[in-house]
Structure 1
Protein backbone atom coordinates (compact mmCIF):
# COMPACT_ATOMS: atom_id res chain seq x y z
CA UNK A 1 0.00 0.00 0.00
CA UNK A 2 2.70 2.52 0.98
CA UNK A 3 4.75 1.78 -2.16
CA UNK A 4 1.72 2.28 -4.42
CA UNK A 5 0.63 5.37 -2.49
CA UNK A 6 4.17 6.76 -2.66
CA UNK A 7 4.32 6.24 -6.42
CA UNK A 8 0.89 7.78 -6.83
CA UNK A 9 1.89 10.78 -4.74
CA UNK A 10 5.33 11.38 -6.20
CA UNK A 11 4.90 9.85 -9.69
CA UNK A 12 8.37 8.40 -10.06
CA UNK A 13 8.92 5.44 -12.31
CA UNK A 14 5.30 4.99 -13.31
CA UNK A 15 4.49 2.94 -16.40
CA UNK A 16 2.84 4.81 -19.26
CA UNK A 17 1.16 3.68 -22.47
CA UNK A 18 3.48 3.42 -25.44
CA UNK A 19 3.11 5.71 -28.44
CA UNK A 20 4.88 6.67 -31.63
CA UNK A 21 5.72 10.34 -32.15
CA UNK A 22 4.82 12.02 -35.42
CA UNK A 23 7.01 14.55 -37.19
CA UNK A 24 7.10 17.94 -35.53
CA UNK A 25 7.74 21.22 -37.32
CA UNK A 26 10.16 23.65 -35.70
CA UNK A 27 7.63 26.21 -34.42
CA UNK A 28 4.85 23.70 -33.70
CA UNK A 29 3.50 24.04 -30.13
CA UNK A 30 1.94 20.56 -29.95
CA UNK A 31 2.94 16.94 -30.48
CA UNK A 32 1.37 14.28 -32.67
CA UNK A 33 1.22 10.89 -30.94
CA UNK A 34 -0.15 7.57 -32.12
CA UNK A 35 -0.99 5.48 -29.06
CA UNK A 36 -0.88 1.71 -29.42
CA UNK A 37 -3.98 -0.39 -28.65
CA UNK A 38 -4.09 -0.97 -24.86
CA UNK A 39 -6.34 -1.82 -21.94
CA UNK A 40 -7.42 0.83 -19.44
CA UNK A 41 -9.62 0.69 -16.33
CA UNK A 42 -12.26 3.41 -16.35
CA UNK A 43 -15.30 4.91 -14.70
CA UNK A 44 -17.84 7.30 -16.22
CA UNK A 45 -19.48 10.15 -14.32
CA UNK A 46 -22.04 12.75 -15.35
CA UNK A 47 -22.11 16.33 -14.21
CA UNK A 48 -20.95 19.83 -15.01
CA UNK A 49 -17.75 20.06 -12.90
CA UNK A 50 -14.59 18.68 -14.53
CA UNK A 51 -12.40 18.77 -11.40
CA UNK A 52 -15.04 17.13 -9.22
CA UNK A 53 -15.46 14.32 -11.78
CA UNK A 54 -11.68 13.80 -11.87
CA UNK A 55 -11.46 13.53 -8.06
CA UNK A 56 -14.42 11.14 -7.74
CA UNK A 57 -13.22 9.01 -10.66
CA UNK A 58 -9.66 8.91 -9.31
CA UNK A 59 -10.88 7.59 -5.92
CA UNK A 60 -12.92 4.80 -7.57
CA UNK A 61 -9.98 3.74 -9.75
CA UNK A 62 -7.49 3.98 -6.87
CA UNK A 63 -9.74 1.58 -4.93
CA UNK A 64 -9.56 -0.82 -7.91
CA UNK A 65 -5.74 -0.78 -7.99
CA UNK A 66 -5.65 -1.27 -4.21
CA UNK A 67 -7.36 -4.65 -4.64
CA UNK A 68 -11.07 -3.84 -5.06
CA UNK A 69 -11.27 -6.30 -7.96
CA UNK A 70 -12.38 -9.92 -8.36
CA UNK A 71 -8.83 -11.26 -8.01
CA UNK A 72 -8.07 -9.01 -4.98
CA UNK A 73 -4.87 -8.12 -6.87
CA UNK A 74 -2.98 -4.91 -6.17
CA UNK A 75 -2.16 -3.17 -9.44
CA UNK A 76 0.69 -0.66 -9.82
CA UNK A 77 -0.21 3.01 -10.31
CA UNK A 78 0.43 4.28 -13.85
CA UNK A 79 0.47 7.64 -15.61
CA UNK A 80 -1.23 9.55 -17.01
CA UNK A 81 -4.68 9.63 -15.48
CA UNK A 82 -6.86 10.57 -18.43
CA UNK A 83 -10.26 12.20 -18.47
CA UNK A 84 -12.33 11.93 -21.66
CA UNK A 85 -14.87 14.74 -21.83
CA UNK A 86 -18.05 14.33 -23.86
CA UNK A 87 -19.57 17.83 -23.53
CA UNK A 88 -23.30 18.27 -23.04
CA UNK A 89 -25.38 19.72 -25.89
CA UNK A 90 -25.87 23.14 -24.31
CA UNK A 91 -24.40 25.44 -21.66
CA UNK A 92 -26.49 23.98 -18.81
CA UNK A 93 -26.36 20.36 -20.01
CA UNK A 94 -24.48 17.67 -18.16
CA UNK A 95 -21.20 16.51 -19.62
CA UNK A 96 -19.92 12.96 -19.36
CA UNK A 97 -16.46 12.40 -17.91
CA UNK A 98 -14.63 9.07 -18.29
CA UNK A 99 -11.66 8.90 -15.94
CA UNK A 100 -9.12 6.18 -16.75
CA UNK A 101 -5.90 4.55 -15.54
CA UNK A 102 -3.65 2.72 -17.98
CA UNK A 103 -3.42 -0.98 -17.06
CA UNK A 104 0.28 -1.83 -16.45
CA UNK A 105 2.12 -4.17 -18.83
CA UNK A 106 2.02 -7.19 -16.48
CA UNK A 107 -1.82 -7.07 -16.50
CA UNK A 108 -2.44 -5.95 -20.12
CA UNK A 109 -3.28 -9.45 -21.39
CA UNK A 110 -5.57 -10.31 -18.49
CA UNK A 111 -6.61 -7.28 -16.38
CA UNK A 112 -8.36 -8.08 -13.07
CA UNK A 113 -12.14 -7.67 -13.34
CA UNK A 114 -13.43 -4.71 -11.29
CA UNK A 115 -15.67 -5.43 -8.27
CA UNK A 116 -17.32 -1.99 -8.37
CA UNK A 117 -20.15 -2.04 -10.96
CA UNK A 118 -19.30 1.57 -11.91
CA UNK A 119 -15.71 0.62 -12.87
CA UNK A 120 -15.07 -1.14 -16.19
CA UNK A 121 -12.27 -2.37 -18.42
CA UNK A 122 -11.83 -0.49 -21.68
CA UNK A 123 -9.84 -1.61 -24.69
CA UNK A 124 -8.66 1.50 -26.52
CA UNK A 125 -7.93 0.85 -30.14
CA UNK A 126 -4.92 2.57 -31.68
CA UNK A 127 -5.56 6.31 -31.99
CA UNK A 128 -3.70 9.46 -32.96
CA UNK A 129 -3.93 12.57 -30.78
CA UNK A 130 -2.66 16.12 -30.98
CA UNK A 131 -1.15 16.88 -27.59
CA UNK A 132 -0.40 20.18 -25.86
CA UNK A 133 1.70 19.96 -22.67
CA UNK A 134 1.60 22.53 -19.86
CA UNK A 135 2.96 22.77 -16.32
CA UNK A 136 1.71 23.92 -12.95
CA UNK A 137 -1.33 22.87 -10.99
CA UNK A 138 -4.12 22.17 -13.44
CA UNK A 139 -7.72 23.20 -12.90
CA UNK A 140 -10.85 23.39 -15.01
CA UNK A 141 -10.16 26.91 -16.35
CA UNK A 142 -6.54 26.15 -17.21
CA UNK A 143 -7.53 22.94 -19.04
CA UNK A 144 -10.11 24.88 -21.08
CA UNK A 145 -7.57 27.62 -21.92
CA UNK A 146 -4.95 25.07 -23.02
CA UNK A 147 -7.55 23.17 -25.06
CA UNK A 148 -8.52 26.39 -26.87
CA UNK A 149 -4.84 27.17 -27.55
CA UNK A 150 -4.37 23.67 -28.98
CA UNK A 151 -7.42 24.00 -31.24
CA UNK A 152 -6.27 27.46 -32.39
CA UNK A 153 -2.83 26.02 -33.27
CA UNK A 154 -4.43 23.17 -35.22
CA UNK A 155 -6.67 25.61 -37.11
CA UNK A 156 -3.64 27.83 -37.83
CA UNK A 157 -1.84 24.79 -39.29
CA UNK A 158 -4.89 23.64 -41.28
CA UNK A 159 -5.02 20.34 -39.39
CA UNK A 160 -8.24 18.29 -39.36
CA UNK A 161 -9.26 17.21 -35.85
CA UNK A 162 -12.28 15.99 -33.90
CA UNK A 163 -13.52 18.78 -31.60
CA UNK A 164 -15.30 16.40 -29.20
CA UNK A 165 -14.74 14.31 -27.24
CA UNK A 166 -11.44 15.67 -25.96
CA UNK A 167 -9.09 14.54 -23.21
CA UNK A 168 -7.14 15.94 -20.28
CA UNK A 169 -4.18 13.96 -18.95
CA UNK A 170 -2.39 14.42 -15.63
CA UNK A 171 0.92 12.85 -14.69
CA UNK A 172 1.52 14.09 -11.14
CA UNK A 173 0.08 13.74 -7.66
CA UNK A 174 -1.21 16.82 -5.83
CA UNK A 175 1.88 16.59 -3.60
CA UNK A 176 4.38 17.12 -6.39
CA UNK A 177 5.16 20.82 -6.32
CA UNK A 178 7.61 21.38 -9.18
CA UNK A 179 8.05 20.25 -12.79
CA UNK A 180 4.42 19.21 -13.07
CA UNK A 181 3.14 17.80 -16.36
CA UNK A 182 -0.39 18.13 -17.70
CA UNK A 183 -1.73 17.64 -21.20
CA UNK A 184 -4.81 18.18 -23.32
CA UNK A 185 -5.48 15.86 -26.26
CA UNK A 186 -7.73 16.18 -29.29
CA UNK A 187 -8.12 13.30 -31.68
CA UNK A 188 -6.96 13.33 -35.28
CA UNK A 189 -9.82 13.32 -37.76
CA UNK A 190 -9.63 10.10 -39.74
CA UNK A 191 -9.95 10.45 -43.48
CA UNK A 192 -13.25 9.18 -44.85
CA UNK A 193 -12.98 5.86 -46.66
CA UNK A 194 -13.84 6.06 -50.37
Structure 2
Protein backbone atom coordinates (compact mmCIF):
# COMPACT_ATOMS: atom_id res chain seq x y z
CA UNK A 1 0.00 0.00 0.00
CA UNK A 2 1.00 3.63 -0.57
CA UNK A 3 0.15 6.30 1.99
CA UNK A 4 -0.41 9.88 0.77
CA UNK A 5 -1.56 12.62 3.13
CA UNK A 6 -3.09 10.03 5.43
CA UNK A 7 -5.05 8.49 2.57
CA UNK A 8 -4.47 4.83 1.85
CA UNK A 9 -4.13 4.37 -1.88
CA UNK A 10 -4.46 0.78 -3.06
CA UNK A 11 -4.31 0.79 -6.80
CA UNK A 12 -3.78 -1.61 -9.63
CA UNK A 13 -3.26 -5.37 -9.51
CA UNK A 14 -1.36 -8.74 -8.77
CA UNK A 15 0.76 -10.99 -11.07
CA UNK A 16 1.47 -10.62 -14.79
CA UNK A 17 3.06 -8.05 -17.04
CA UNK A 18 0.72 -5.14 -17.52
CA UNK A 19 1.80 -1.67 -18.48
CA UNK A 20 0.61 1.27 -20.56
CA UNK A 21 0.34 0.90 -24.31
CA UNK A 22 -1.82 0.10 -27.32
CA UNK A 23 -4.86 -2.10 -26.65
CA UNK A 24 -7.18 -3.81 -29.11
CA UNK A 25 -10.03 -3.78 -26.59
CA UNK A 26 -13.17 -2.14 -27.96
CA UNK A 27 -13.60 -0.03 -24.83
CA UNK A 28 -10.17 1.52 -25.46
CA UNK A 29 -10.99 2.60 -29.02
CA UNK A 30 -11.14 6.32 -28.14
CA UNK A 31 -7.65 6.37 -26.58
CA UNK A 32 -4.21 5.97 -28.19
CA UNK A 33 -2.97 4.15 -25.07
CA UNK A 34 -4.65 2.17 -22.31
CA UNK A 35 -3.67 0.69 -18.98
CA UNK A 36 -3.13 -2.95 -19.92
CA UNK A 37 -4.07 -5.94 -17.80
CA UNK A 38 -4.20 -9.73 -17.75
CA UNK A 39 -7.39 -11.63 -17.03
CA UNK A 40 -6.93 -14.22 -14.30
CA UNK A 41 -10.40 -15.71 -14.63
CA UNK A 42 -14.05 -14.96 -15.41
CA UNK A 43 -17.26 -15.94 -13.70
CA UNK A 44 -20.86 -15.15 -14.65
CA UNK A 45 -20.76 -12.21 -12.21
CA UNK A 46 -17.30 -10.65 -12.43
CA UNK A 47 -13.81 -10.74 -13.92
CA UNK A 48 -10.57 -11.07 -11.97
CA UNK A 49 -7.77 -8.96 -13.42
CA UNK A 50 -4.09 -8.45 -12.74
CA UNK A 51 -2.29 -5.16 -13.38
CA UNK A 52 1.35 -4.24 -12.91
CA UNK A 53 2.86 -1.10 -11.44
CA UNK A 54 2.45 2.11 -13.45
CA UNK A 55 3.10 5.77 -12.73
CA UNK A 56 -0.06 7.86 -12.52
CA UNK A 57 -0.96 11.52 -12.15
CA UNK A 58 -3.54 11.94 -9.44
CA UNK A 59 -5.47 14.46 -7.39
CA UNK A 60 -7.61 14.28 -4.27
CA UNK A 61 -11.02 15.95 -4.06
CA UNK A 62 -13.30 16.27 -1.03
CA UNK A 63 -16.83 16.11 -2.44
CA UNK A 64 -20.34 15.01 -1.56
CA UNK A 65 -20.95 13.12 -4.83
CA UNK A 66 -19.00 11.30 -7.53
CA UNK A 67 -20.21 13.78 -10.15
CA UNK A 68 -18.84 16.78 -8.23
CA UNK A 69 -15.54 15.01 -7.58
CA UNK A 70 -15.11 14.23 -11.28
CA UNK A 71 -15.86 17.79 -12.41
CA UNK A 72 -13.17 19.18 -10.12
CA UNK A 73 -10.57 16.41 -10.22
CA UNK A 74 -10.72 15.48 -13.89
CA UNK A 75 -10.43 19.13 -14.95
CA UNK A 76 -7.23 19.43 -12.87
CA UNK A 77 -5.72 16.38 -14.52
CA UNK A 78 -6.78 17.44 -18.02
CA UNK A 79 -5.12 20.83 -17.50
CA UNK A 80 -1.87 19.02 -16.63
CA UNK A 81 -2.14 16.72 -19.66
CA UNK A 82 -2.97 19.69 -21.91
CA UNK A 83 0.23 21.58 -21.08
CA UNK A 84 -0.03 22.98 -17.56
CA UNK A 85 3.38 21.60 -16.64
CA UNK A 86 7.00 22.73 -16.48
CA UNK A 87 7.74 21.51 -20.01
CA UNK A 88 4.60 23.01 -21.53
CA UNK A 89 3.94 19.77 -23.38
CA UNK A 90 0.56 18.24 -24.19
CA UNK A 91 0.12 14.52 -23.68
CA UNK A 92 -2.57 12.12 -24.82
CA UNK A 93 -4.69 10.92 -21.93
CA UNK A 94 -4.52 7.21 -21.14
CA UNK A 95 -7.75 5.23 -20.69
CA UNK A 96 -9.37 4.61 -18.37
CA UNK A 97 -9.62 7.31 -15.74
CA UNK A 98 -9.73 5.62 -12.32
CA UNK A 99 -11.57 7.00 -9.31
CA UNK A 100 -11.28 5.66 -5.79
CA UNK A 101 -14.84 6.07 -4.49
CA UNK A 102 -15.23 6.25 -0.69
CA UNK A 103 -18.20 4.60 0.98
CA UNK A 104 -18.69 7.49 3.41
CA UNK A 105 -20.36 10.78 2.48
CA UNK A 106 -18.27 13.94 2.12
CA UNK A 107 -15.04 11.97 1.90
CA UNK A 108 -11.93 12.14 -0.28
CA UNK A 109 -12.17 10.93 -3.87
CA UNK A 110 -8.87 10.01 -5.53
CA UNK A 111 -8.94 10.61 -9.30
CA UNK A 112 -6.06 9.33 -11.43
CA UNK A 113 -4.84 9.02 -15.00
CA UNK A 114 -1.91 6.82 -15.97
CA UNK A 115 0.93 8.62 -17.72
CA UNK A 116 1.64 7.69 -21.37
CA UNK A 117 4.36 5.09 -21.92
CA UNK A 118 6.84 7.68 -23.19
CA UNK A 119 6.50 9.70 -19.94
CA UNK A 120 6.49 6.84 -17.45
CA UNK A 121 10.18 7.45 -16.65
CA UNK A 122 10.43 11.24 -16.44
CA UNK A 123 7.07 12.98 -16.67
CA UNK A 124 6.76 16.78 -16.78
CA UNK A 125 6.11 18.39 -13.39
CA UNK A 126 2.56 19.72 -12.85
CA UNK A 127 2.13 23.48 -12.40
CA UNK A 128 -0.77 22.77 -10.04
CA UNK A 129 0.52 21.49 -6.69
CA UNK A 130 -2.78 19.64 -6.21
CA UNK A 131 -1.71 17.26 -8.97
CA UNK A 132 0.94 14.71 -7.95
CA UNK A 133 2.52 11.42 -9.04
CA UNK A 134 2.42 8.02 -7.41
CA UNK A 135 3.72 4.65 -8.52
CA UNK A 136 0.87 2.18 -8.29
CA UNK A 137 1.49 -1.21 -6.75
CA UNK A 138 0.49 -4.56 -8.26
CA UNK A 139 -2.94 -5.50 -6.89
CA UNK A 140 -5.93 -7.69 -7.82
CA UNK A 141 -9.34 -6.40 -8.87
CA UNK A 142 -12.78 -7.97 -9.02
CA UNK A 143 -14.28 -6.09 -11.98
CA UNK A 144 -17.71 -5.64 -13.50
CA UNK A 145 -18.45 -3.60 -16.63
CA UNK A 146 -21.69 -1.86 -17.58
CA UNK A 147 -23.04 0.61 -20.13
CA UNK A 148 -24.79 3.88 -19.35
CA UNK A 149 -24.14 7.27 -17.79
CA UNK A 150 -21.34 7.57 -15.25
CA UNK A 151 -23.45 8.87 -12.38
CA UNK A 152 -23.16 8.39 -8.66
CA UNK A 153 -26.48 6.54 -8.68
CA UNK A 154 -25.44 4.08 -11.39
CA UNK A 155 -22.01 3.64 -9.86
CA UNK A 156 -23.49 2.87 -6.44
CA UNK A 157 -26.03 0.46 -7.92
CA UNK A 158 -23.38 -1.51 -9.84
CA UNK A 159 -20.85 -1.56 -7.00
CA UNK A 160 -23.48 -2.80 -4.51
CA UNK A 161 -24.54 -5.51 -6.95
CA UNK A 162 -20.92 -6.60 -7.42
CA UNK A 163 -20.35 -6.59 -3.65
CA UNK A 164 -23.41 -8.82 -3.14
CA UNK A 165 -22.13 -11.29 -5.72
CA UNK A 166 -18.66 -11.31 -4.13
CA UNK A 167 -20.21 -11.96 -0.73
CA UNK A 168 -22.24 -14.84 -2.19
CA UNK A 169 -19.06 -16.31 -3.70
CA UNK A 170 -17.22 -16.05 -0.38
CA UNK A 171 -14.65 -13.64 -1.83
CA UNK A 172 -12.54 -11.46 0.43
CA UNK A 173 -12.12 -7.83 -0.65
CA UNK A 174 -11.60 -4.33 0.72
CA UNK A 175 -15.04 -2.97 1.55
CA UNK A 176 -14.32 0.62 2.62
CA UNK A 177 -14.19 1.86 -0.98
CA UNK A 178 -14.33 0.72 -4.57
CA UNK A 179 -12.80 1.86 -7.84
CA UNK A 180 -14.71 3.31 -10.75
CA UNK A 181 -13.23 3.26 -14.26
CA UNK A 182 -14.28 5.56 -17.09
CA UNK A 183 -13.25 4.64 -20.65
CA UNK A 184 -15.32 6.93 -22.85
CA UNK A 185 -16.49 10.51 -23.09
CA UNK A 186 -20.03 11.29 -21.98
CA UNK A 187 -22.29 11.06 -25.05
CA UNK A 188 -25.90 12.25 -25.45
CA UNK A 189 -27.32 8.74 -25.65
CA UNK A 190 -25.41 7.73 -22.51
CA UNK A 191 -24.16 4.48 -24.04
CA UNK A 192 -20.68 4.71 -22.52
CA UNK A 193 -18.69 1.84 -21.09
CA UNK A 194 -17.82 1.97 -17.37
CA UNK A 195 -16.49 -0.41 -14.76
CA UNK A 196 -16.65 -0.84 -11.00
CA UNK A 197 -14.06 -2.84 -9.10
CA UNK A 198 -13.05 -3.98 -5.62
CA UNK A 199 -9.51 -4.73 -4.51
CA UNK A 200 -9.21 -8.44 -3.72
CA UNK A 201 -7.75 -9.62 -0.42
CA UNK A 202 -5.83 -12.87 -0.50
CA UNK A 203 -6.34 -15.51 -3.17
CA UNK A 204 -9.06 -14.46 -5.65
CA UNK A 205 -12.19 -16.56 -5.95
CA UNK A 206 -12.60 -17.71 -9.55
CA UNK A 207 -15.61 -20.01 -9.27
CA UNK A 208 -19.31 -19.16 -9.04
TM-score (norm 2): 0.79
Answering whether residue 33 of structure 2 is matched by residue 15 of structure 1, we say yes
Measure the CA separation in 2 of the matches of 1:177 and 1:108: 35
Cα contact 1:87–1:94 (8 A) shared by 2: no
Answering whether residue 58 of structure 2 is matched by residue 42 of structure 1, we say yes
Answering whether residue 178 of structure 2 is matched by residue 153 of structure 1, we say no
Measure the CA separation in 2 of the matches of 1:105 and 1:180: 25
C-alpha change, 1:143 and 1:131, in structure 2 (3 Å) is same
Cα contact 2:98–2:182 (8 A) shared by 1: yes
Cα contact 1:24–1:32 (8 A) shared by 2: yes
2:134: which partner in 1? 122
C-alpha change, 1:176 and 1:77, in structure 2 (3 Å) is farther
1:137: which partner in 2? 149
- Secondary structure of 1:68's counterpart equals coil
Question: Once the two structures are superposed, what CA deviation does each residue of 1:134-170 show, in whole Å capped at 9, x if it has no partner?
Answer: 0011211110000001001111111111112311111
Cα contact 1:44–1:96 (8 A) shared by 2: yes
Cα contact 2:149–2:190 (8 A) shared by 1: no
Cα contact 1:164–1:186 (8 A) shared by 2: no
1:11, CA displacement in angstroms?
Answer: 5.8
C-alpha change, 1:71 and 1:190, in structure 2 (3 Å) is farther
Answering whether residue 119 of structure 2 is matched by residue 110 of structure 1, we say no
Which ranges in structure 2 are unaligned for 5 or more consecutive residues?
1-27, 204-208
1:189: which partner in 2? 201
Measure the CA separation in 1 of the matches of 2:116 and 2:85: 15
1:76: which partner in 2? 92
Which ranges in structure 1 are unaligned for 5 or more consecutive residues?
1-9
